[in-house]
Structures are given as structure tokens and as C-alpha cells.
Amino acid sequence: MPVLVLEHVTIRCAQRQRTRDFYVELLGLTEGERPDFPFRGHWLYLGGIPVIHLVEAADKGSAWGGEPGSAGSDTGPFDHVAFQGDDFEAMRARLTDAGMSFRERVVPGGKLKQLFVPDPEGVLVEINFR
């Protein structure tokens, strides 16, 4: 059976609270229930689904169960995460007002506008507007 849907992205954070604030205050995700893991973190929800998991970089443990930097802990060349937006001008103004550096692009054909902004950990966030 093939996979059905993307569940979440986990970001190991050196600036966990600042990164949480980026996703909650700037992008509009909501912080919600999170299991009592033995490491610090936040689960950030979109439409009732915890789509972004933030974990404290300094805490031990990973999805593989090892130490950060140990064999098997390198997640490779992850490039960006993308969200669908609904108001290009409002999001552009929000990013500008927050003093964020971002890029804009219109996809060839003109049916899709995009904004690209790095989060505090350097993960590139793409926001698509149809």
C-alpha cells in the first residue's frame, strides 16, 4: 500500500522558542497537545493536524533513537517545507512588518505566486498562493 499523506516535519532547534514563535505568530499555526517525550519540544498544528514538530537540539534522542550527530542521525539534504497560503499581499505585508528577509516568485505560466522565507533555524519555508 502506498503512503497516503504527509504527516509532519520535525525540526531540531537551537532556537526552539524563537522558531515556535515564527510558525505560530507569523505563519498562524497553533501550538497543541504533545506527548510527554523525554526531550523538550512543541507540536504545531494546522487544520487540527500537528504538521510541524520542534525538538530541542541540545536534548538527547532523535527519531532513530541516537544522539544528534551519531551514525544514522544525519537526515541528508532536506531543502524546504511548503504551505498553501490564501492572501499573498497580506502575507507579504506580514513578513515585511516582521522585518523578515524573503523572496517572491511567480511560477512560469502565472497561476502560482510564491514567497520563500527562512525560519530561525534556517529551514526554508515556501508559501504558495493559487
Query: Looking at residue 27, what is its pLDDT?
Result: 97
Domains of the chain: 9-65+79-129 (3.10.180.10)
Q: How many CA atoms lie within 13 A of 67 on its CB side?
A: 2
pLDDT tier at 114, thresholds 50, 70, 90: very high
Q: Are strands 49-56 and 9-13 parallel, antiparallel or unpaired?
A: parallel
d(CA 37, CA 117): 29
pLDDT band at 118 (very low <50, low <70, confident <90, very high): very high
Identify the residue whose cell numbers are 527519531. 63
Question: What pLDDT sits at residue 92?
Answer: 97
No. of H helices and E strands in the chain?
Answer: 2, 8
Alpha carbon of 92 to those of 4, 8, 51, 112: distances in Å? 32, 25, 22, 15
List the single range of 2-6, 44-48, 114-118, 125-129 with lowest mean pLDDT: 2-6
Nearest in space to 18 (alpha carbons), one of 118, 127, 86 = 118
pTM of the model: 0.85
CA distance 7 to 50: 8
What is residue 66's predicted lDDT score, i.e. its pLDDT?
Answer: 53
Torsions phi, psi for 97 (to 5 deg): -60, -30
d(CA 112, CA 129): 6
Q: How confident is the model at residue 24 (pLDDT cuts 50, 70, 90)?
A: very high
Residues 38-89: tens digit of each pLDDT: 889 999 999 999 999 999 988 876 554 555 544 445 666 678 999 999 999 9
